[in-house]
Amino acid sequence: MKTIKAFAPATVANVSCGFDVFGFAVEQPGDEVTLTLTKTPGVRMTKIEGDGGRLPLEAEKNTAGVAVISFLKSIDSDAGVEIFLKKNLPLGSGMGSSAASAAAALAGINHLLGEPLSRRELLPFAMESERIACGSAHADNVAPSLLGGFVLIRGYEPLDVVSIPTPDNLFCTLVHPHLELKTQDSRQVLRSTIPLKDAITQWGNIAGLIAGLMKPDFGLIGRSLKDVVAEPIRSLLIPGFDVIKEKAVESGALGCGISGSGPTIFALSTEKETALRTGKAIQQEFKKLKLESEVYISRINSTGAKVIS
């Protein structure tokens, strides 16, 4: 019996202006998946830890299971696989929890079977699992969790994923308040049309953020971390959001927004100290509203999902 353990990181999807098209990976936290090849064909989830008993143990309903099932199907394999999922990422947090489970499972199974597919070729299976998790096969969490780095999903049909170089001295603050928002619900509140004026603002910021990361130009990054499409509506679901944003910028962060579909808040800074200070300031605001939270500080993770043992 061959067993391996794989890790995949949390991700910040959207990065303010890039709804469904931008995402980056952080170093920690992340999910761990242990996969064992068995003689009995089929995919089975043997155990899930850290989810408080809330995730389904049926492989067809779990993002790690779905990803492995669709991967095996695509390579015509009748391998037997047992999956043990250790959830370190909170559910409904906006940190790409379902995506990290799928990405770790895919990096693991691909390795176990001798790397028949490239990382990029694994993406459609991870997207399939996002569809199961929240009804939409967006790639802005799964792509950075699998590939690492800052990723642009230039197009979905066909899938066109572009890795964007980022400056070394970019630190991400994540503050996760103890609140849960289901991605499916946070997507349903969005408007289905965008006024032209807002679209112009948004695509200016999208281009500005990419240019800012590539030059690099930190002022431009900060000015471009603005979202007039999803944030104005979704922020209503996050207590204290407007003050939190002000405090983050006062603390020296380049900018601040909702991580994925929330409620986790992300901020970007050029110094680790600033990232820490920003985290404390945001945590304090949540505390005033009687919300406990965790803070994570990290550089952008350029590796993505990896086999750890």
Shorter beta-carbon distance to ligand HSE: residue 12 or 109: 12
Distance CA 101, CA 85 (A): 7
Decide if 58 is catalytic. Answer: no
Closest CA to 48 of 40, 56, 38, 39: 56
Shorter beta-carbon distance to ligand HSE: residue 82 or 140: 140
Helices (H) and strands (E) in the chain, counts: 10, 11
Element (H, E) at 10: strand 3-13
Give the residue closest to ligand HSE by C-beta.
260
Contact call for residues 92 and 5 (beta carbons, < 8 A): no
Max CA separation in the chain (angstroms)? 59
Question: Which range binds ligand HSE by CB under 6 A, 75-83, 137-145, 157-165, 291-299?
Answer: 137-145
Decide if 183 is catalytic. Answer: yes
Residue 93 interacts with ligand HSE (CB under 6 A)? Answer: no
SS3 helix, strand, coil % of the chain, rounded to 5? 40, 25, 35
Residue 140 interacts with ligand HSE (CB under 6 A)? Answer: yes
Contacts (CB under 6 A) with ligand HSE, residues 187-216 = 187
Shorter beta-carbon distance to ligand HSE: residue 59 or 229: 229
CB of 138 to ligand HSE, least distance (A): 5
Distance CA 228, CA 149 (A): 25
Which residue in the set 62, 93, 101, 261 belongs to the binding site for ligand HSE (CB under 6 A)? 261
By the criterion CB under 6 A, which residues form the site for ligand HSE? 13-14, 19-20, 94, 96, 138, 140-141, 183, 186-187, 260-261
